[in-house]
């Protein structure tokens, strides 16, 4: 006799018509701003969308975060530890609406890190 027990968790998000992106290529994740404080960072999500961040890594690919992924609620922030608080350039990998894992490049000036403009993302 073979018995299998399975447990699944499905997250379903309903998006009101007023906040549906205008095009499939529209990226709102680039509005996330990071604030550095020692070996901690705070991700600020000013958008009306949930954002799932998989990791932050140096341009060479070395991760500076140890979390398996975090989900930041709309118009909120979340603090987490980083392995290198002095990092100046990094990439944020996130989950998009289609399950893909694109990256956005960030640059820090002082303690504030913002996404590079689209022309510098390539």
Domain count of the chain? 1
Q: What would the mean pLDDT of 15-20 be, rounded to a whole number?
A: 73
Q: How confident is the model at residue 105 (pLDDT cuts 50, 70, 90)?
A: very high
pLDDT at 25 (0 to 100): 63
In a domain, 87, yes or no: yes
In a domain, 24, yes or no: no
pLDDT at 122 (0 to 100): 72
Domain that holds residue 80: 30-120
- Any residues with CB less than 8 A from the CB of 102 and at least 6 apart, and which? 93, 94, 96
In a domain, 113, yes or no: yes
pLDDT, one tens digit per residue, over 36-82 is 999 999 999 999 889 999 999 997 788 999 888 999 999 999 999 99
Residue carrying structure tokens 């590079």: 116
Enter the pTM of the model.
Answer: 0.82
Tokens representing 20? Answer: 């549906």
H or E segment at 54?
strand 51-57
């Amino acid at each position: 006799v073979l018995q299998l027990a399975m447990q699944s968790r499905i997250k379903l998000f309903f998006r009101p018509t007023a906040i549906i992106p205008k095009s499939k290529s529209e990226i709102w994740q680039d509005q996330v701003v990071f604030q550095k404080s020692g070996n901690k960072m705070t991700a600020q999500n000013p958008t009306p969308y949930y954002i799932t961040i998989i990791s932050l890594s140096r341009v060479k690919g070395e991760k500076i975060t140890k979390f398996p992924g975090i989900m930041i609620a709309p118009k909120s922030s979340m603090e987490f530890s980083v392995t290198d608080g002095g990092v100046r350039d990094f990439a944020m990998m996130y989950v998009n609406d289609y399950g893909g894992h694109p990256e956005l490049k960030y640059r820090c000036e002082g303690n504030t890190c913002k996404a590079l403009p689209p022309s510098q993302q390539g």
